[in-house]
Chains A and B, each alone.
Chain A
Amino acid sequence: MWIYEKKLQYPAKVGRANLRMAKYLITQYGGPDGELAASLRYLTQRYTMPTGQAKAILTDIGTEELAHLEIIATLVYKLMDRATIGEIEAAGLGAYYADHDKALFYVNGEGVPWTAAYIQSKGDPVADLHEDMAAEEKARATYEWLINLSDDPDLNDTLSFLRQREIVHFQRFGEALQIVQEYMDSKRIY
């Protein structure tokens, strides 16, 4: 089960409303390398992991990604706060507005809705953990591209925190992979 805590993992700040960045940042909400994909990937892969360490790390990182999803939602919500229709249209968000107003929805930066085709659950723990490590690197790169696109120091502070978390998760998945490989090798004694 899960229990909600009425607080963010990190103080999500934006310096000013910025629809251009909202349009780019939404991809970390519902895009291919975003936080929803990350969380759902890890939380569904954990059931068939062979060791306690791997089950734990997928559960805990999958849960942390939900906290990151909430941080991204908060940032997008704040970036779009008080925007006028004219500003929304000028930022290329008119089509988004027609479908969602300023509500949060799981799409990438081009408005393509989230799909389970972004993720995989192979049942082979070595394959799954390699996918997870690649996912963390892709998310890290996405945060770097977003920071390159942004000139808001407050926003960049929060994006830098999220970028650093991808690095830590990559490290933990790598350790879990080594543990799983050693476990599987130990099973192959004839």
Chain B
Amino acid sequence: MTTEDADFELRGELVRPYVITNGRELPSEREFSVTTLVTVTDEAPNSRVLSPESRSILDLCSGGYLSVVEIAGHTGLPLGIVRALLAELAENKLIWTRAPVPSAESADKQLLKEVLHGLRRRFA
């Protein structure tokens, strides 16, 4: 077996995702958290030709904000693929993102108070 064949063999399982993402590496959780919020920019409607998957993400996000994981849920694409497509869309300035509350603040008293009040209000 040549080296080239061996390389091909190893990538067998990932052919489809890599085709969708145009060969782009899958970004990590740290770049696009599951709860990062996404919406489209004014540039999005006039954007140049995109893959059908990227286009469906832009369409989905044009009504307001959705989280990364909701985009995956609605499009039926695996999270890693969604992250890769979002990275490309962000680079082309077609989406805005809002990062979630940073890890360091997840035990913040004021934040937890807000969560508690919000839940009590909803389920009173």
| B is a partner of A | no
